[in-house]
Amino acid sequence: MNLADYDVLSFDCYGTLIDWEAGILSVLGAWAEQSGAALSRDELLVAFGVNESQAQRDFPAMLYPGILAEAFVRTGDALGIPVSEDWTNRLGSSVPDWPAFADSAEALASLAQNYKLVILSNVHREGFAGSNRRLGVRFDAIVTAEDVGAYKPAANHFDAIDGVLDNLGVPRSRLLHVAQSLFHDHVPAKRHGISSVWIDRRHDRPGWGATPEPTEKYSFDMRFPSMAAFATAVGTAVDDA
């Protein structure tokens, strides 16, 4: 594929641009330590990821803070450790505090010179607004779970992208989706026939972390270990075009 052949980049945010695992662990790790549970970071992330994705299927219209709280309670039940309302509130309100990856803002600023930028995110509007302040760019469109009433890998976000592209005057063939999660993003991108790039943030770590292992077919057209590497490849492609 030629990265210069696209006009719009759509992004997953959490896991791709914002370090959601660090954000989740800032609360889950403190909870586990207070509870005296001898659990590794990845054990906490895997347990939480399974319960979060199930909560999203069970309550597709619930706002993301509620999903985080519900997933936390289910995780505690699965691990045999009670979760108080104080802890669920801490996690549910933590999204705006989650850190951006170190390369996200610079990479987005570079990419904005050549593409329109769109967010397809599994959070609520208020949560993304907090994260957007850490990313430092103006997105041309933002589609959240709150807007479409469902969570990826459900089709709703990718159904909504057609309206976004119409507003931008860009055909779907000129859209490239950029995401870390094979489960949440590359599965539905494949279903919708959308080209995609995998930002493999966990390339230097084993396992799936907070992202469930995909159980459906997925594909991606290119793979990069970071947003910085992707932005560099884009710069080369544009210079060569």
Q: Rounded CA gap, 225 and 229, in Å?
A: 7
Helices in 14-169 by DSSP H: which ranges?
20-35, 41-58, 64-79, 85-92, 104-111, 125-135, 145-148, 156-168
Distance of alpha carbon 70 from alpha carbon 218, whole angstroms: 28
Asked if the bond preceding 188 is cis, omega within 30° of 0, the reply is no
Measured CA to CA, the distance from residue 122 to residue 160 in angstroms comes to 13
Contacts of 167 (CB under 8 A, 6+ apart): 141
Pairing, β 175-179 against β 141-144: unpaired
Q: Is 140 a catalytic residue?
A: no
Catalytic residue among 5, 12, 147, 239: 12
- State the Cα angle at 124 between 17 and 35, rounded to 5°: 80
**Helix and strand element counts for the chain (H, E):** 10, 6
What amino acid positions are annotated as catalytic residues? 12
